[in-house]
Structure 1
Amino acid sequence: MKSRWIIGALLSSCLLLAFCDDNTALAEKPSAVPITVRMAAKDSPSDEALLTYEATRKVAKEKADLLTKTYGTNSVQYALIDHGRIVVSGQSGKNDEKGQKPLTKDTMYGIGSTSKMFTTVAVMQLVDQGKIDLDTPVVRYIPEFAMKDERYKQITPRMLLNHSSGLNGSSMTNAFLFEDNDTYAYDTLLKQLAGQTLKADPGAYSVYCNDGFTLAQILVERVSGMDFTSYIHRYMTEPLGMANTATPLDSPDEAKMAGLYYPAYTGQLPNETSSLIGIGGIYSTAEDLARFSQIFTGKAEEVLSGKSAAAMAQDEFKTPLWPDDADSSFEYGLGWDSVNPYPFSEYGMKALTKGGDTLLYHSSLVVLPGQDMAAAVVTSGGSSVYNQLLANEILLRALKEKGTIAEFKPEKSYGVPVKADMPESVQQYSGIYGAFSGTINIDITKGGVMSVTSEQSPDTPAQIFGYSADGTFRSAYGNTIISFVTEENGRTYLWLRQYASLPGLGQKAISEYNAEKLRPQDLPAETRKAWMKRDGKKYYLLNEKYTSIVYLMMQPFQLNVSKQLPGYVSDKRITGPNTAVSELQIPGMSGRDLSAYTFFTQDGAEYLDVGGSILVNEDAVNPIYVAKKSIVTIPSNGYARWYSVSDKDGGKIVKVNMPSNASFAVYNAKGTCVYFSVVGGKDQVELPAGGAIVFAGDAGTKFEISAE
């Protein structure tokens, strides 16, 4: 999880380029008086400590309200800490659906991948104690860790923390559940990795990787002899006074959790849980994350040495495979998303950032070590990107109010295209480019016009860029430039640089290898025939637990063989009648979460394995039989049972009787979930014509279905 949690490549169909010129508040009033949290003995009160931060608090509240009213966020909680004192704290938005539980500073939120900072601190604490060496192979500490690829023996703890391990990405089966602290996803990681190969040499380049941090969590448990939840409480939350930080294994009070909602579903949702604690399963508050930030500003050396905190803040991303220097939001340290983020680089300030996104929660922590300040923002709904922009705004306003900065820097642009004749050789960069989220078609005309379209989103209008005198392609308003780089590995990359402005929130800088050029290939007739039989077919997920949030959010996965790039399906090269692999080598974010497609047949039905997720071909999904009473039984393999809804049965009301360890969900003809029993709580529902219904539960579970 990062900044964005991904449940396998099968759920990703977004346009791969990030281009963008891109309810009444029920909040308590932000604290008017600074709250003393802790102050090191060497510190003494100063004029700074007596500031009221009135202007900063006003802006923080205005911007938080903007998130809830304009940017699709349900609720926001924020905090600013300055020299060990929480000086700004507030909330905005709605909590419970009935409006009976106001948001407070103690309302807890999932922090997603900001949890990775707890994992990193835990590893570095053990480094301080001499129990872990960052550059000793992980197998020395976890002997049972093994993979099909012998290079795994070279993976070190440092590589886990700086995303350079070469692991494929994210093992997420049963990772996100409703009010269920089942540890399956964590317990099975080593088994999952045992069947995998690496996508790159360990240490070759950094590409965002969730599995590396789950492995780091296992490392902490093996070396410390403690379970991870107990460890972080003893060595982090208790020493720092973080009374409102917990994991699903603490079974926190649901009444203390922020209310969750999903745009396509009516009503409040149960709480979200994840057993992948070390990569994204921790709950906290903005104030607690502000307290946590003291580790990185020298206020908590009893928790982590200054030497280790400084080591975490060093550049760890500058391998040979990385774009040239430019303003960016991703420059990895140990755990950190960036150790030199824009816009603080504009002010000559060292900054550290980490964001997190689960399916429903979002967070951001921004630390200014040299200023002894940090801001944290957590939300229900929205995005960690929005949260980081709010945290940036809070910090910049406070810095100005203190007089540390005189004026705010203006937003930046690369400038509009300067018209020039384009060399014919530039047309060689036309073609299909791939990333973990799909493929795009780059078409460059002789006249210097470049259009970008997505094969996965054919209805999305083309994005147009013009050739400029400096050899780049630029958007009309100059916020985005694109160029092409052929690296030493012989691969050609689309290099995207962008200043993306969100009105009222600020500007985000992006510099990344956004996609890699793919080469067409001819397929043997037998292989091509096998894949064309699958072209356009829908596949239905079978092996998520009955409490899985995925049943609420996912739509059937439709497999489409590329019409633009022979021999490919999405970014994956077809390697045989039943196999396709992603061979991308892209640093940063666009080469994350790579999964192969493997098909197999059992009892006459075709199944698809995508990174441990098992799906079944629509041809094996039969219409549901609606009678006075019928029985559906979960088979011995535990796979969910899917049925289609015929036109003649559309509109019928069915009642479902089932045990507690089971659920069912109903989908309309567009694949949108219209009822999920874990959320809805009723036992009867109308069947939509052309839709589908799924039954999930433990092996042998029986569902009694009757027509009303």
Structure 2
Amino acid sequence: MQAPFAPIPHRAAPCSRRQFLGYGTAGMLAVVLPGCHSDSDDNPPSPSNVDYSQTIEWGRKEIERALAGDRQNVAAVSIALLKNDTVVWQQAFGRASVQDNIAATTQTRFNIGSVSKVLAALAAMILRDRGLLDLDVPAARYLPGFSMLSPEYAQITTRHLLSHSSGLPGTSMRNAFTFEPLPGYAVNAEAALADQHLKHLPGMLAVYCNDGFTMIERLVAALAKQDYASFIQDNVLDPLGMSDSGFLTEWPEGGLFALPYSKGKQYAQEFVSPLATGGLTTTPGDMMKLAQLFLEQGTYQSRRIVSADGVAQMGTDQTTGLIINPSPQWVWGLGWDSVRHPGLAAAGVQAWQKNGGTAFFSSDFYVLPDQQLALMVTGGTGDAQLPDTYRAGALAEGVLLRALVEEGSISGLPPLVAYTAPPRATAPDLADAVGVYANYNQPIRVTANPDGSFSLSAWNGNAWQAMNGDASYSYRSDDWWWSNDAPISYRFEVVSGTDANGQAYQYRYLMLRGPLFGAGYNESTLPMGQQLLPQAPLNAVWQTRMGKTWTVINESPKTVPSTLSLDHTLYATLSGLPELPGYILVRNSSYDDGSPEYQLLAPIADDRAGMTVKIPANAGRDLYELHFTMAGDKEILTIGSWVYEPAIV
């Protein structure tokens, strides 16, 4: 999701890693959509006297506005809307290939990124139905080769993996997005975990985790005695007749694919190596067949694919047992980002939702079980800084809510969230709250002002840069800190207790509240950073590494980051923050496609530094640890599954 959690409008979010969450791509402070050329596919007849003509007209205009408003990035958008067992709207807009002027059609396949996780959860449920898998048995029992440095890895269950609560570090990004098929991703990702710790105890909190679904890929292969792509083909895609869907594990021999297009340049076919995590290529029309499976509680055209209980398990709230959960509006399912999507909940409607993205595409998939309604939209990732661009979450919400109004399921659109600051109140003492807050991509500094307000700044690589246009935040009667009538407000929240190992914990979060996802009909509350306190200065061994650069030696030159980096060289640098002694500030360009992104790590030993934050939802995702070894006279650096050698100066 474009800028998943951090409201820093002065910089655009990099696409590949951030889009590959699924969770977050709905669009920060999303404006309703945009678009351009469309094909003229005939719409099938409605199953009732409701033809959804007003909904379709609105959706077409929004997509056309998106394509017209962001011609440098949004080349094609495709959408399908299902009611009961009938597709009432299916249409493709724009061009599958800008370079060759090939129009997108309803058979044009898109890479849908993390929407693929729904199929991974479905695969687990099929294996569960066959008696091969217990969701609450440790995954290591099925994968004897799986290990990690934290002994608690042996407590990770399949349920943890499917609900983002496993504690795995996040995402193994090496060779993930490529311009040619690269085998072995899941095996390499599992091997890399053997040299890493957990970032939190299994089941303690839920934070978006791609590697959990890569481990599902490994589980399926082990239990089904069949590779993951073949299992999904045989047990899901073929039975549902999803003939325009599959995993690109080799160069396609046929089919029409939307080609990547970004900043006015077209690229070759994109391949996504983490198959269960985000590798499906498909059409919205095919995804409506999958939606029917969920609406029919596990059957498709009277054929049982998965048990009704399996579908129900996927749609069940998985957050009830979490120890730390400061964002209760987001209700994780199994494979679903949310089984009570906030935007539809604002209208009193339950929706199961999953979004996703790749380096170049953004998608959203909804199933509304009570209304027998479903939607899939996919298209080129828009520029988050433009007012008129493609935002999957906002478009999807807008179409679904209008369809619900048109069919009479709801009386009208819910009101947009109003942002009128309440009266000022006596501010609490900020002494304990000021300082540096870390997350997965950019440290944030809270500074107290003489008038009792505070200001925010973010580290840009060289200095602290004011966030949100130099805004200052004053305490208000609703216990939040506001900058006049701006849509974003903040507060500080301390969580404390004793974990499953009997260890006491206390974490202070900087919480953000606002219209973070969708079209503005609801607001969500998310932690965007965890406060870190100064430690003893780094020892001499670590001090000698500060300011040095290492270059990647095991990433394919055919990956998206390698191709898009200016000199095709991926690197990592180590430094520090003067305000926060005792920590290592890491920039890893192979992780962020060249955009300044930084993590704060703490030394574990002279040869290893580890993760420092335990943040639920999204801001604590995709963490890593460093490990140094010697190869002759060279100090070799490992970050996750990447290997680096000292840069030649």
Residues 1:306 and 2:308 are matched in the alignment: yes
**Percent of pairs identical after alignment?**
27
- Residue of structure 2 aligned with 1:476, choices 459, 464, 484: 484
**1:208 matched residue in structure 2:** 208
How far apart, CA to CA, are the structure 2 residues paired with 1:383 and 1:212? 29
Structure 1 residues 464-497: Cα deviation after superposition (integer angstroms, max 9, x where no partner): 2221123211232242221111112211111211
Q: Report the CA distance between 1:87 and its aligned residue.
A: 0.5
With 466-475 and 102-111 compared, the bigger mean Cα shift is at 466-475
Q: Structure 1 counterpart of 2:58, which letter?
A: V
**1:545 matched residue in structure 2:** 556
Q: Report the CA distance between 1:605 and its aligned residue.
A: 4.8
How far apart, CA to CA, are the structure 2 residues paired with 1:459 and 1:294? 50
Q: Structure 2 counterpart of 1:396, which letter?
A: L
Residues 99-498 of structure 1: pairs in structure 2 closer than 5 A: 99-178=100-179, 180-249=180-249, 251-253=251-253, 256-263=256-263, 267-298=265-296, 300-301=298-299, 302-318=304-320, 319-323=322-326, 325=328, 328=329, 330-382=330-382, 386-423=391-428, 425-456=429-460, 458=463, 460-463=465-468, 464=471, 465-488=473-496, 489-498=505-514
CA contact (8 A) 2:170 2:209 kept: yes
Q: Report the CA distance between 1:74 and its aligned residue.
A: 2.3
CA contact (8 A) 1:162 1:316 kept: yes
CA contact (8 A) 1:3 1:356 kept: no
Q: Structure 1 counterpart of 2:493, which letter?
A: V
How far apart, CA to CA, are the structure 1 residues paired with 2:68 and 2:157? 45
Q: CA RMSD in A?
A: 2.9
Q: Report the CA distance between 1:429 and its aligned residue.
A: 0.5
CA contact (8 A) 1:96 1:259 kept: yes
How far apart, CA to CA, are the structure 2 residues paired with 1:283 and 1:21? 26
Q: 1:124 to 1:428 in 2, by over 3 A?
A: same
CA contact (8 A) 2:29 2:520 kept: no
Q: Please give the secondary structure, in 2, of the residue aligned with 1:493.
A: strand
**1:670 matched residue in structure 2:** none
Q: Please give the secondary structure, in 2, of the residue aligned with 1:152.
A: helix
User: Which structure carries more relative contact order (alpha carbon 8 Å, separation 6+)?
Assistant: 2
TM-score by length of 2: 0.84
Q: Report the CA distance between 1:223 and its aligned residue.
A: 1.4
Q: 1:28 to 1:415 in 2, by over 3 A?
A: same
Q: 1:528 to 1:249 in 2, by over 3 A?
A: closer
Q: Please give the secondary structure, in 1, of the residue aligned with 2:430.
A: helix
How far apart, CA to CA, are the structure 1 residues paired with 2:42 and 2:431? 59
Unaligned residue ranges in structure 2 (runs of 5+): 5-13, 22-26, 385-389, 497-504, 586-598
Q: Report the CA distance between 1:515 and its aligned residue.
A: 1.0
Q: Structure 2 counterpart of 1:287, which letter?
A: G
How far apart, CA to CA, are the structure 1 residues paired with 2:231 and 2:552? 35
Q: Please give the secondary structure, in 1, of the residue aligned with 2:374.
A: strand
Q: Please give the secondary structure, in 1, of the residue aligned with 2:623.
A: coil
Q: Please give the secondary structure, in 1, of the residue aligned with 2:61.
A: helix
**1:598 matched residue in structure 2:** 627
Q: Report the CA distance between 1:30 and its aligned residue.
A: 4.7
Q: Report the CA distance between 1:198 and its aligned residue.
A: 1.4
**2:10 matched residue in structure 1:** none
Q: 1:500 to 1:150 in 2, by over 3 A?
A: closer
How far apart, CA to CA, are the structure 2 residues paired with 1:232 and 1:3? 31
Larger Rg: 1
**2:596 matched residue in structure 1:** none
Q: Structure 1 counterpart of 2:534, which letter?
A: P
Q: 1:431 to 1:590 in 2, by over 3 A?
A: same
Q: 1:271 to 1:509 in 2, by over 3 A?
A: farther
Q: 1:435 to 1:573 in 2, by over 3 A?
A: same
Q: Please give the secondary structure, in 2, of the residue aligned with 1:307.
A: helix
With 355-364 and 604-613 compared, the bigger mean Cα shift is at 604-613
How far apart, CA to CA, are the structure 1 residues paired with 2:538 and 2:516? 45
How far apart, CA to CA, are the structure 2 residues paired with 1:539 and 1:20? 37
**1:31 matched residue in structure 2:** 42
Q: Please give the secondary structure, in 2, of the residue aligned with 1:353.
A: strand
Q: Report the CA distance between 1:447 and its aligned residue.
A: 2.1
How far apart, CA to CA, are the structure 1 residues paired with 2:149 and 2:29? 41
How far apart, CA to CA, are the structure 1 residues paired with 2:348 and 2:342? 10
**1:581 matched residue in structure 2:** 610
Q: Structure 2 counterpart of 1:64, which letter?
A: I
How far apart, CA to CA, are the structure 1 residues paired with 2:642 and 2:509? 30
How far apart, CA to CA, are the structure 2 residues paired with 1:506 and 1:524? 45
How far apart, CA to CA, are the structure 2 residues paired with 1:123 and 1:383? 36
How far apart, CA to CA, are the structure 1 residues paired with 2:35 and 2:295? 37
Structure 1 residues 354-400: Cα deviation after superposition (integer angstroms, max 9, x where no partner): 01111112211011111011110111223899212211111111111
* Number of equivalent positions: 590
Structure 1 residues 177-221: Cα deviation after superposition (integer angstroms, max 9, x where no partner): 10x222121222331122222122111111111111111111112
Q: 1:614 to 1:336 in 2, by over 3 A?
A: same
- Residue of structure 2 aligned with 1:519, choices 513, 533, 541: 533
Q: 1:560 to 1:226 in 2, by over 3 A?
A: same
Q: Please give the secondary structure, in 2, of the residue aligned with 1:331.
A: coil
**1:560 matched residue in structure 2:** 575
Q: Report the CA distance between 1:602 and its aligned residue.
A: 4.3
How far apart, CA to CA, are the structure 2 residues paired with 1:131 and 1:6? 38
Q: Structure 2 counterpart of 1:571, which letter?
A: L
How far apart, CA to CA, are the structure 2 residues paired with 1:575 and 1:256? 50
Post-superposition, which runs of at least 4 consecutive aligned residues in structure 1 deviate over 6 A? Answer: 1-9, 21-24
CA contact (8 A) 2:346 2:522 kept: no
With 384-393 and 210-219 compared, the bigger mean Cα shift is at 384-393
Q: 1:152 to 1:579 in 2, by over 3 A?
A: closer
CA contact (8 A) 1:351 1:366 kept: yes
CA contact (8 A) 1:422 1:447 kept: no
Q: 1:116 to 1:278 in 2, by over 3 A?
A: same
With 92-101 and 590-599 compared, the bigger mean Cα shift is at 92-101
TM-score by length of 1: 0.78
Q: Report the CA distance between 1:278 and its aligned residue.
A: 0.4
Q: Please give the secondary structure, in 1, of the residue aligned with 2:107.
A: coil
How far apart, CA to CA, are the structure 1 residues paired with 2:131 and 2:276? 21
Structure 1 residues 232-272: Cα deviation after superposition (integer angstroms, max 9, x where no partner): 12211122221110101264347611021222xx6421111
How far apart, CA to CA, are the structure 2 residues paired with 1:126 and 1:551? 38
Q: 1:381 to 1:317 in 2, by over 3 A?
A: same
Unaligned residue ranges in structure 1 (runs of 5+): 13-17, 35-46, 622-708
CA contact (8 A) 1:21 1:500 kept: yes
CA contact (8 A) 2:36 2:63 kept: no
Q: Report the CA distance between 1:8 and its aligned residue.
A: 7.8
Q: Structure 1 counterpart of 2:296, which letter?
A: G
Q: Report the CA distance between 1:560 and its aligned residue.
A: 3.4
